Amino acid sequence: MVFLKCGFVKNQFSIVIVCKNEAAVIRHLLDSAQTITDDVVVYDNGSTDETVTIARQYPNVHVHEGAWEGFGKTKQHATALAKHDWILSLDADEALDETLQQTLVQLQLNDPAVAYNILFKNFLGNKHIRWGEWGFDAHIRLFHRAQVHWNDAQVHEQLIIPKHIKIKKLRGHVLHRTVTDTVVYSRKVVHYALLNAEKYFKRGKHATFSKRYIAPRFTFIKFYIFMLGFLDGWEGLICARMTAYYTFLKYARLYELHKAEKNKRNHLK
């Protein structure tokens, strides 16, 4: 651990953030990171708002600017810029609650063959979503970069975790203020659905009848009924319906891409 003049004890890991136009939310994360690490990497991908200006106001933040290459490759580049080998990967709309901050300060990072899973509290506006898809959310976000790394996926990137890595859970939560309202939410749903359809298309996946017609309905029933999304009231209904729409749009676009490819082949014959 590193002892700072201010009296705080800061663990030897780096926080890595990839972002663009996150001026409205990034302060929450940077404020929560100040007492737990001496290295916060902000890798900005062309912000036109005050994101970079805000980040440079913090003493332990190191701002880098680079091109967007998809989620996976961009996170790989950002991770390589960190001072420490232990990496806590976060998004700009996330922050660390007090319990998680204390846990991270006290954590003994002496085994590179361990990665840490962290519980999330997700918010729609100011509403903490306790049930449904968002209510049981956890992600592996703290890892040693010599052992674990991001894949190359354009969207829905994942960590490549070797079989020998042990997964442990940390106390505390990441506070994820993912969307402010239904306008932002719907735009994100459409954006990620179309990106994921493109990814599936490149991998040769197909939108079967069941994927197009049954999967969206089952998705809604699963999250709203089986996983008790209805207990979150109106916001729970919005979340379940948006996830169902995401599923529908993803496979509708995938079907459209394959149909266009088939028509193109037929035209060339």
- The domain that holds 125 is classified in CATH as 3.90.550.10
Residue type for 185, please?
A: Y
The answer on 220 and 175 residing in a single domain is: no
The answer on 114 and 14 residing in a single domain is: yes
Nearest-5° Cα angle at 239, 191 to 141? 70
| Residues β-bridged to residue 94 | 176
**Tokens matching residue 182:** 């239904």
The answer on 75 and 36 residing in a single domain is: yes
Threshold 0.75, pTM exceeds: yes
Residue 4 pLDDT = 44
User: pLDDT class for 3, splitting at 50, 70, 90?
Assistant: very low
Residue 194 pLDDT = 97
Residue-wise pLDDT for 195-226, tens only, equals 999 999 999 999 999 999 999 999 999 999 99
Which of residues 179, 208, 230 is at a domain's end? 179
Q: How many domains does the chain have?
A: 2
Residue 105 pLDDT = 94
The answer on 112 and 54 residing in a single domain is: yes
The DSSP code for 230 is: G
Residue 269 pLDDT = 67
Which of residues 160, 179, 198 is at a domain's end? 179
Q: What is the share, in percent, of the chain residues with pLDDT greater than 70?
A: 96
Q: Are 199 and 153 a contacting pair, CB within 8 Å?
A: yes
Higher pLDDT, 53 or 9: 53
Residue type for 235, please?
A: E
**Tokens matching residue 110:** 């002496």
The answer on 239 and 148 residing in a single domain is: no
Q: Are 64 and 78 a contacting pair, CB within 8 Å?
A: yes
- Average pLDDT estimate for 60-64: 97
The answer on 169 and 83 residing in a single domain is: yes
The answer on 69 and 154 residing in a single domain is: yes
Given a cut of 50, whether residue 5 has pLDDT beyond it is no
Strands 94-96 and 114-124: unpaired
Nearest-5° Cα angle at 127, 122 to 130? 55
The answer on 161 and 210 residing in a single domain is: no
Residue 10 pLDDT = 64
The answer on 186 and 85 residing in a single domain is: no
The answer on 163 and 61 residing in a single domain is: yes
Given a cut of 90, whether residue 264 has pLDDT beyond it is no
Give the C-alpha separation, 75 to 71, whole Å.
6
- Average pLDDT estimate for 145-160: 95
Which of residues 117, 149, 179 is at a domain's end? 179
Residue-wise pLDDT for 26-57, tens only, equals 999 999 998 899 999 999 999 999 999 999 99
Residue 125 pLDDT = 94
User: pLDDT class for 177, splitting at 50, 70, 90?
Assistant: very high
Given a cut of 50, whether residue 99 has pLDDT beyond it is yes
The answer on 49 and 163 residing in a single domain is: yes
Closest residue by Cα to residue 143 from 102, 94, 109: 109
CB burial of 182-218 (b: ≥16 within 10 Å; e: otherwise) equals eeebeeebeeebbbbbbbbbeeeeebeeebbeebbee
Given a cut of 80, whether residue 6 has pLDDT beyond it is no
The answer on 222 and 193 residing in a single domain is: yes
Residue 65 pLDDT = 96
- For the chain, give the mean pLDDT: 94
Residue 10 domain boundaries: 2-179
Give the C-alpha separation, 27 to 33, whole Å.
10
